[in-house]
Amino acid sequence: MPRTTTVECPGCPPLRALTFDALGLIKVTESRGNSGGIPQVVERWGDADSSKCVLAASIDDRANDPVCCKNCSFFLGFQVLIFSSFAGSGDCCACFSVALIISYTFDCLVFHSLQILAVARKNGTIEISNPLSGDIFVSISDFGDGDGHPEDDDIAGLHIFKKSRSVGSCSLLTCTTKGNASLRSVDIAPTESTNNGASNSWKVCAAGKVLCAKVHGSEKHALFGGKGVEVNLWDLESSTKIWAAKPPPKNSLDIFTPTWFTSATFLTGNDHRKFVAGTNSHQVRVYDTSAQRRPVISFDFRETPIKSVAEDHDGYTIYVGNGSGDLASIDTRTGKLLGCFLGKCSGSIRSIARHPDHPVIASCGLDSYLRLWDVKTRELLSATFLKQHLTCVVFDSNFSDKEVVAPDAQNADEIPGEVEQEALKLVKRKKFPEEMKGKKKKSKDDRSKKSKKKCCQMESKECDDS
């Protein structure tokens, strides 16, 4: 069973994390206030199968779209008023048409409040499921119409679009190691006429192996890089390459460092021109497409390849994890090491995630531990052992520690009986002292009567003797 380390930690704030491993399992870890802030594994989804190893994951954990829900709510109320007026006039055709519009608007409200999780597996399938219950909405194949094969063309990047969702469908961006990128629309509730084919596809690179892909917060630009593939920036609306990096010059020994990018991320959600990438030669490079094609800042971190890079909310701090388990925060403006996180991991770090609300980051990797760290103090908050090699971790930002559970019918029938029993207990408790007082009074009267009888008997004996 999953266990938690016995180190003395201050505990975690209320949060919910989803981890993905090499056997295709999805495990849900939650930290609640009633458990002392100690994360615990509450759910496990899927069956252990190495062919279903999770390669990439993306989550749309928004509770709702404020703009869409506001417009839909206003439109729904307006249509209800129209429906009531037509119903009063007796126009059946108008009532039926307005009822259809109301049904569609209600479906729109329900769908835009739905959270979605997309998972790419090693066998080439992409599953879209509910991150709250684990129920799979639809499963599609990324190699159905392509000429690639799962064994030699794995999925290297996956992103589910949050801002371009329509009723009953969502948009996915996938990229394989051979550079086959596709942007498609997928029906979440497929029917017989459902078409889950790629709406647009292009080639990211002519040669090399794509190892990292990242979509900007505006969801209009994407970044790709890998082994033999220089980092390049693409416009997703037109599917065109708008910028490509230039390799750095040779070093002082006249040795050229081969191109091998392992991870990349954008620094801020407001500017797609600034991003950072990690290399296999333990180097971190900061790029600014408006300045030059070569890195504006480049620095080394330890002696093992960079495996994961994540950005902070401030727009200049990044978190770097390497193949030997080192995790640190770095200021990209100066390249200065801000500090290493206390407590070394015993395996390669494969994924780092920053919580959107709490000052917490999560890291996971080949040591099978999910570790939660405090961003400010860089202390270890908790470490949970999850058995398998972990490949990815994501946060559910809408998790709430206070959950309202609606009682079912059976429990609802049982509640009045319990209340009556408690009331009877209270009544008995109230009556008990009064009854005891009465008993005490009776016992005192009996004792006084007996003492009087004894006195009378003694007096009569004395009279007889005299």
Pairing of strands 116-121, 54-60: antiparallel
In this predicted model, what pLDDT tens digit does every residue of 361-411 receive, in sequence order?
Answer: 999 999 999 999 999 999 999 999 999 999 999 999 988 876 544 444 344
CA distance 466 to 455: 17
| Residue 202 to residues 239, 264, 415, 418, Cα–Cα distance (Å) | 7, 20, 61, 65
Q: What contacts 261, CB < 8 A, 6 or more positions away?
A: 211, 212, 225, 226, 227, 229, 230, 231, 277, 278, 279, 280
Residues for the chain: how many in total?
Answer: 466
What DSSP string runs through 182-235? EEEEEESS--TT----EEEEEES-SSSEEEEEEE-TTSSEEEEEEETEEEEEEE
Check whether 7 has a pLDDT greater than 60.
no
Which of 33-47, 90-104, 180-194, 258-272 is predicted least confidently? 90-104
pLDDT of residue 70: 45
CA distance 160 to 376: 30
| Residue 345 to residues 14, 363, 436, 457, Cα–Cα distance (Å) | 23, 9, 68, 95
pLDDT of residue 363: 97
More confident residue, 261 or 346: 261
Residue 345's pLDDT band, with cuts at 50, 70 and 90, is confident
CA distance 117 to 394: 10
Which of 66-80, 126-140, 282-296, 344-358 is predicted least confidently? 66-80
Check whether 331 has a pLDDT greater than 70.
yes
Residue 235's pLDDT band, with cuts at 50, 70 and 90, is very high
CA distance 87 to 412: 37
Residue 257's pLDDT band, with cuts at 50, 70 and 90, is confident
User: Which residue reads 């086959």 in tokens?
Assistant: 180
Paired with 306 in beta bridges are 322
Residue 295 corresponds to which tokens in the numbers above?
Answer: 């890195």
Q: What contacts 353, CB < 8 A, 6 or more positions away?
A: 17, 310, 361, 362, 363, 393, 394, 395
pLDDT of residue 169: 85
In this predicted model, what pLDDT tens digit does every residue of 120-143 receive, in sequence order?
Answer: 999 999 999 999 999 999 999 876
pLDDT of residue 404: 42
